[in-house]
Structure 1
Amino acid sequence: MQIGAVYPQIELGGDPGAVRRIGRAVEDLGFAHLLAYDHVLGAVHADRTPRLPGPYTEQDPFHDPFVMFAYLAGITERVSFATGILILPQRQTALVARQAADVDLLSGGRLRLGVGVGWNHVEYEALGQDFRTRGARQEEQIELLRRLFTEPVVDFSGRFDRIDRAALVPKPVRPIPIWLGGSGEVAFERAARLADGFIFFGGGGVDHAVDAWTRLRDRVRGLGRSVEDFGADYVAVPRGGIGDLTAQIDAWREAGGTHVSVATMGRNLDSVDGHIDYLASVADALGLS
């Protein structure tokens, strides 16, 4: 099982130096990957109809994952990168294909593209996309991305995108794996049909994630797809000490999980050094370094 870390973007004040330090530390400490969340804009929550259900506001800083990973690709050698998740339907599909392909090329094939539909309708409006059709658009986009990554010339007419005999050149070094993230039966059903893996967020605890993974695995198997080729990443949110974290990781490994991403946010770590020190303690406890 691969063990990685989550970039703690909202607790670093948008400090560009933190990107370099944490990216380097994650690799030096022996973690397999760095996972980054995504938002283009943060919106004021007050006086919204419909309300905004997500946790982030206009005060929470985010770096663009593609830009950040392209930068880190140049100063690291081994660690891989995962978007967890990129809000795909609010973006132009062909542009995502170009950006993802370049990150994969510049990193030597180290990108895992995790995508989802998001929750921020203000962000969708600002980017000129329809929030109401985001699920259907994402399904079409996944098909189109795979064709752009692999086919010499693409001729595509869909509900949301039209490509008239055009090509993505240069292409990534291999078909970039596309994982889904989210919660609920709609997300699981879509992932079972379309995805290479799924990212489970640990807000409900590892037992909840294990139950969801069991149900998703049954869906994948029921569609005649190989469960062994389907990935499962659990974003572990430590609630206690290192012992609690290692217990979560052990439970996920026992359940057949393929990846774990350790989140350090929410632990009152008020500096880059604090986050790196905590990751060092995790790496030591898990025997990574």
Structure 2
Amino acid sequence: MRFTYAEAMTDPAYHIPLARAAEAAGYAGFSVADSLVYPKDSGTSYPYTPDGDREFLEDKSFVETFVLIAAMGAVTSTIRFTPFVLKLPVRPPVLVAKQAASIAYLTGNRLALGVGLSPWPEDFAAMGVPWPRRGRRMDEAIEVVRGLTGGGYFEYHGEFYDLPPVKMSPVPTEPIPILVGGHSDAALRRAARMGDGWMHGGGDPAELDALLARLAALRAEEGTAGRPFEIHAISPDAYSVDGVRRLADKGVTDLIVGFRWPYAKGPDTQPLARKIELLERFAESVIARVSP
């Protein structure tokens, strides 16, 4: 089992010392939240809070995802960074491919590209991208990113993107894992069909087993059950040794852990020293006891 440290919506100056501390404590990964803009008015609810309230996001700091990963990657050497998740279909996939390939190259393959659909129509509007058929746009963007980051000439002719034979340099020496986030049936099917893994977004802990069962069924249906596949999950079971073992038995490969409720309104008041103390305490009590 691998452990990914999650911290977001905090003082941006905390991220570099936290990345160093998490790596030193034995975490395998560090998740990086993605947010573009906060709309003043929106009728859309947030899918991973009990009441759908989105107001906790207002005035929270989000450094641009690839910029933040580059900064943390420059001061670490082993920990892997995972956008959780990059709002892929609102972005130009050629640019995303260039950013991802550059980060993976410079960090020695320490990028796993978590991708998902933004729940906000306002993100699409702000980026000048149509909201309709966003799922198909997402599928094509994944294909473009994977093709361009693989090295050599790549061409693509789809509904939304059309590329003559082109190539990028440098590219990483290993394929960039693409991990698909989302709980909808369409997202689970996309992960089963196209992904190198799936990222669980949290929410009701009781729903995880049903999501894992559905994902397994879809992988069997898509003929991908035998392919290497990462499953990143959020669960209360992650905080005990026995719980970790139960999750491993269910096929979870990576556990995302954090040590404060991230959906609170207002600024994060937890000091940096306390954050480091908590991540180190977890590493001693859980990671050290389940790692080989």
TM beyond 0.5: yes
Is 2:13 aligned against 1:17?
yes
* Contact residue 93 and residue 145 of structure 1 kept, 8 A: yes
Residue aligning to 1:224: 223
Residue type at the aligned position of 1:93: P
1:39 aligned residue: 35
Contact preservation (8 Å) 1:235, 1:263:
no
Aligned to 2:252: 257
- Note the alpha carbon deviations across 1:145-197, whole angstroms, 9 max, x for none: 12112252122221111212221111222221111001121111111111110
Question: Does 60-69 or 20-29 show the bigger shift?
Answer: 60-69
Counterpart code for 1:20? I
Task: Tell me if the contact between 2:114 and 2:180 (Cα under 8 Å) persists in the aligned partners.
Answer: yes
Deviations 1:1-49 (A, max 9, x none): 111111x221x2xx3321111111110111000011111112224xx3x
Say whether residues 1:29 and 2:21 are aligned partners: no
Contact 2:82 2:114 (8 Å CA) reproduced: yes
1:113 aligns with 2:113: yes
Query: Which amino acid is 1:31 matched to?
Result: Y
Alignment match, 2:175: 175
**Any residues of structure 2 matched to 1:79-228 within 5 Å, and which?**
79-205=79-205, 207-227=206-226
Corresponding position: 1:53 with 2:35: no
Aligned partners of 2:238 and 2:255 also within 8 Å: no
The aligned length equals 275
In 2 relative to 1, CA 253–107 (structure 1 residues): closer, same or farther, beyond 3 Å? same
The residue aligned with 1:69 is: 69
- State the distance in 1 between where 2:279 and 2:195 align: 30
1:243-282 correspondence runs (5 A): 245-246=239-240, 248-266=243-261, 270-282=270-282
Tell me which amino acid in the other structure corresponds to 1:210.
D
Structure 2: 5+ residue runs without aligned partners? Answer: 47-53, 263-267
Q: TM-score, normalised by structure 1?
A: 0.89
C-alpha distance 244-152 of structure 1, shift in aligned 2 (>3 A): closer
SS at match of 1:164: strand
Task: Report deviation, 1:235.
Answer: 2.4
Shift of 1:125: 1.0
CA shift, 1:244, in A, is: 7.3
The alignment partner of 2:156 has SS state of strand
Quick one: percent identity of the two aligned structures?
27
Q: What is the CA deviation profile of residues 100-156 of structure 1, one whole-angstrom value per residue up to 9, with x for unaligned ones?
A: 001101110010001001111112211111122221101011111121122521222
Contact residue 36 and residue 83 of structure 1 kept, 8 A? yes
Which residue number corresponds to residue 233 of structure 2?
A: 234
The residue aligned with 2:51 is none
Q: 1:229 to 1:269 in 2, by over 3 A?
A: farther
State how far apart, in whole Å, the 2-side matches of 1:92 and 1:273 are. Answer: 38
Query: Deviation at 1:248?
Result: 4.3
Deviation readout 1:222-247 (Å, 9 max, x if unpaired): 222134611100024x5xxxx87225
What is the alpha-carbon distance in structure 2 between the residues aligned to residue 225 and residue 183 of structure 1?
A: 19
Greater displacement, 270-279 / 181-190: 270-279
1:288 matched to 2:256? The reply is no
Tell me which moved more, 150-159 or 190-199.
150-159
Q: What is the CA–CA distance in structure 2 between the aligned matches of 1:150 and 1:83, rounded to whole Å?
A: 19
